[in-house]
């Protein structure tokens, strides 16, 4: 039988690539739900092509436009954040791909877990903000969380058949972004146009800036802790400019397993949607002869402080990663609006970590309040 898929954030980079995967594997998948925050035109186009049962547009002002366009196609249309969390409970859904950007993915993912849906997780912030809560909920409701990020998908693939063997160390690879090798003085006047030029990956604006500042890798460190049940000192980051080795796992006997491939997000998306089966594809194949030199470097934590801030937030625990994430989302937004400089993002995040109220054992309500409180602090600091 076909897997029935809900894609939260279908108009973003991951969502559009997921629909390409589904289109190429029409015998294996069908689209049940599509959602978007504000891109009504693309959502309508996707719904006409894939004919989901339900679509949700987050921006209420776009509801009439979407509803009118899809009424002839017998597609149910809802709007608003509450609808987003409610729609994932639909009994016709087999797997929910959470491809929303940032904190917005948290509450819909919780709703999907409580409804017993398999989660294909492309929204790392969900585990950054509420890793302990999410993992406990997944265990309680017997829900699988399948990673979609290329690094965590790589680790997940390396662990296939190894579940009785303890992990000694996880090694996350980072491309280094567009400013690899630069020092602080080089980054004082970089523009958003320069920061948005990633050397290897084609991604949305927010994650591209996070990659340039190495915050994306910091968020992935926190996500890895919860996905794979390891301690902070078992996670290492190395810079691998070619982005061919997507991550590695070292076991207690010293053996290291790695997953390799060209930088193409459709591969980890397809692996998560098709799991436990590997579906055939026509993706471009990696050829070692085209990459005779694979190189590795230590990350520069002095220049790129965000990675270090993420490690420190993870060590501190409690709501510190939630504070980190909220401050970073405001910092990236301000940088993209030319309101602060590239290096000011780290300063803002550090200030928020120092000023926001720390809670050792936060509830969901505590995390919701922490997110709002931190955003207000960040905006005032700006």
pLDDT in tens, 105-162: 999 999 999 999 999 999 999 999 999 999 999 999 999 999 999 999 999 999 999 9
Residues 77 and 91 in one domain: yes
Residues 159 and 308 in one domain: yes
Give the residue from 104, 145, 314, 136 showing the smallest Cα distance to 155.
Answer: 145
Does residue 348 sit within a domain? no
Residues 298 and 159 in one domain: yes
Q: What percent of the chain has pLDDT over 90?
A: 95
Residues 89 and 159 in one domain: no
What is the C-alpha to C-alpha distance for residues 183 and 50, in angstroms, rounded to an integer?
Answer: 47
Residues 121 and 212 in one domain: no
What is the C-alpha to C-alpha distance for residues 107 and 88, in angstroms, rounded to an integer?
Answer: 11
How high is the pLDDT of residue 62?
A: 97
Residues 195 and 296 in one domain: yes
> What CATH number should be reported for the domain holding residue 117?
3.40.50.720
Please say which residue of 147, 163, 194 terminates a domain.
147
Does residue 53 sit within a domain? yes
Does residue 210 sit within a domain? yes
How high is the pLDDT of residue 93?
A: 97
How high is the pLDDT of residue 146?
A: 98
How high is the pLDDT of residue 279?
A: 96
More confident residue, 198 or 85: 85
The band of 101, judged by pLDDT with boundaries at 50, 70 and 90, is confident
How high is the pLDDT of residue 26?
A: 96
Tell me: pLDDT of 176 over 80: yes
Please say which residue of 289, 316, 343 terminates a domain.
316
Q: How many CA atoms lie within 13 A of 87 on its CB side?
A: 28
Contacts of 34 (CB under 8 A, 6+ apart): 6, 7, 10, 15, 43, 46, 47, 50, 52, 54, 55, 56
Residues 212 and 301 in one domain: yes
How high is the pLDDT of residue 376?
A: 98
Residues 209 and 294 in one domain: yes
For the chain, give the mean pLDDT.
96
Residues 38 and 65 in one domain: yes
Please say which residue of 291, 316, 341 terminates a domain.
316
Tell me: pLDDT of 203 over 80: no
Does residue 177 sit within a domain? yes
The band of 174, judged by pLDDT with boundaries at 50, 70 and 90, is very high
**Can you read off the two tokens belonging to residue 89?**
């409970």
What is the C-alpha to C-alpha distance for residues 237 and 124, in angstroms, rounded to an integer?
Answer: 17
CA triple 15-117-4, angle to 5 deg:
55
Q: What is the pLDDT of residues 271-311, one digit of tens each?
A: 999 999 999 999 999 999 999 999 999 999 999 999 999 99
Mean pLDDT computed over 201-207? 79
Residues 165 and 302 in one domain: yes
The band of 102, judged by pLDDT with boundaries at 50, 70 and 90, is confident
Residues 285 and 220 in one domain: yes
Does residue 270 sit within a domain? yes
Domain extent, residue 292, equals 153-316
Does residue 120 sit within a domain? yes
How high is the pLDDT of residue 198?
A: 79
The band of 200, judged by pLDDT with boundaries at 50, 70 and 90, is confident
Q: What's the pTM value of the predicted model, to 2 decimals?
A: 0.94
Domain count, the chain: 2
Residues 131 and 163 in one domain: no
């Amino acid at each position: 039988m076909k897997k029935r898929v809900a894609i939260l954030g279908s108009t973003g980079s991951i969502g559009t690539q997921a629909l390409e995967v589904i289109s190429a594997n029409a015998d294996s998948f069908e689209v049940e739900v599509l959602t978007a925050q504000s891109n009504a035109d693309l959502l309508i186009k996707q719904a006409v092509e894939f004919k989901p049962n339900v679509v949700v547009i987050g921006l209420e002002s776009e509801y009439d436009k979407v509803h009118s366009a899809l009424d002839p196609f017998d597609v149910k249309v809802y709007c608003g954040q509450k609808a987003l969390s409610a729609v994932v409970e639909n009994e016709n859904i087999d797997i929910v791909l959470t491809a929303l950007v940032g904190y917005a993915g948290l509450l819909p993912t919780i709703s999907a877990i409580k409804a017993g849906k398999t989660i294909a997780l492309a929204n790392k912030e969900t585990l950054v903000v509420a890793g302990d809560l999410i993992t406990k909920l997944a265990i309680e409701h017997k829900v699988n969380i399948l990673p979609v990020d290329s690094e965590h998908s790589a680790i997940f693939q390396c662990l296939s058949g190894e579940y009785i063997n303890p992990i000694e160390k996880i090694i996350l690879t980072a491309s280094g972004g567009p400013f690899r090798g630069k020092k602080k003085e080089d980054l004082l006047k970089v523009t958003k146009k320069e920061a948005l030029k990633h050397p290897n990956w084609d991604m949305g604006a927010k994650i591209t800036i996070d990659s340039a500042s190495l915050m994306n890798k910091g968020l992935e460190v926190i996500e890895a802790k919860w996905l794979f049940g390891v301690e902070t000192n078992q996670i290492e980051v190395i810079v691998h400019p070619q982005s061919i080795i997507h991550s590695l796992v070292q076991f207690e006997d010293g053996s290291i397993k790695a997953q390799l491939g060209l930088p193409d997000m459709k591969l980890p998306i397809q692996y998560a949607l098709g799991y436990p089966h590997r579906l055939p594809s026509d993706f471009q194949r990696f050829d070692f002869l085209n990459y005779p030199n694979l190189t590795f470097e230590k990350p520069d934590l002095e220049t790129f402080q965000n990675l270090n801030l993420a490690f420190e937030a993870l060590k501190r625990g409690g709501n510190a990663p939630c504070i980190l994430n909220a401050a970073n989302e405001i910092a990236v937004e301000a940088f993209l609006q030319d309101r602060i400089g590239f290096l000011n993002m780290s300063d803002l995040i550090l200030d928020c970590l120092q000023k926001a109220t720390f809670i050792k054992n936060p509830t969901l309500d505590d995390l919701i309040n922490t997110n709002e409180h931190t955003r207000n602090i960040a905006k005032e600091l700006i």
